[in-house]
Amino acid sequence: MTKKSNKHLIRQPWYYEYIYPEAGGIAAQACQNIIDEFCPGKGLSMLDIGCGTGKIISHMTGSGHTCAGIDISKPMVDYALLLHPKFDVTQGDMRNFDLNKKFDVVLCVGSTFTSNLSNADVHASLANFHRHCKPGGLLIIALLNASRFLGAETFNEHVEMRVDEEDFHATTFSRHLLDRRNQSFRRVRTWRIDGEDDPVVDDAEFRLFFPLEIEDYLGQHKFSV
C-alpha cells in the first residue's frame, strides 16, 4: 500500500538534507551577493521566511548578521533548533505571522513563496512581508518564471533521480504536471527507499509568475523593483 504525504520533504526534514545538501549554501551566497550590492554592511537584522533547517540563517549569522526564521512546518522548525539550539526560529504562516518587529532584510527563497497558489495568498504574504520590513529595507524572494514553463516547447514530464548518502539510499520518480489556466506546476514524486517495502508519495504544487506580474504585485504593496 502506498503512503501518501503532501509535501513530504517538509514533514521529514532529514530527507530534505539528503536531497538538497548544498542548497542552503548556494541560496545563502546568492542572497549575500544581493545584500552586498543593495544593502551593504555588517550587523543587519534579517528574517528568513521559509527557513527550513536553518542553512541560510547559519550562513548569515556567521557573516555577522542577526537573524530570525519562520517556517510553516513544525518538523522543520524542530529540526532547525535541534541542529542550532540558539537560533531564533518559530513556526508560522507567511501570510499572517506577527513577530512585532521590523528587519533590514526579509528573505523568502527556495520554493516558499511559490506555495502561494491563489492571488489572495500572494497579496496576504506580500502585505505581511511589508509589515516586517523596515522603511528602505530589502526584500529578496525567489520565484519560478512562468515563461520558462508555459512557453517552453519541451517539458520534462518524468524525471528520475538517485540519492546515495552514507546512511540513506533511494530512487525518486517524479511526474510533472502543468496547469496553464492557474499558472501552477505540480510535482508528484514517488520515493523508493532502499530497505523499505512501501513507497512514499510527495505531492507538491507551485505557483508560476511572469516578471511583470510579480512586479505589479510588489508595487501594490509598496515595494519598488
- 163 or 9, greater pLDDT: 163
Which residue ranges make up each domain of the chain? 3-10+49-146+210-220, 155-206
Q: What is the mean pLDDT of residues 117-130?
A: 97
pLDDT at 49 over 50: yes
- pLDDT at residue 123, rounded to an integer: 98
CB count in 10 Å sphere of residue 212: 9
* Residue 152's pLDDT band (cuts 50, 70, 90): low
Of residues 191, 205, 200, 185, the one with CA closest to residue 161: 191
Q: What is the mean pLDDT of residues 64-91?
A: 93
* Residue 20's pLDDT band (cuts 50, 70, 90): low
- pLDDT at residue 4, rounded to an integer: 38
Are 119 and 150 spatial neighbours (Cβ–Cβ below 8 Å)?
Answer: no
CB count in 10 Å sphere of residue 154: 5
Domain made up of 3-10+49-146+210-220: CATH architecture: 3-Layer(aba) Sandwich (3.40)
Domain made up of 155-206: CATH architecture: Single Sheet (2.20)
Share of the chain above pLDDT 90, in %: 62
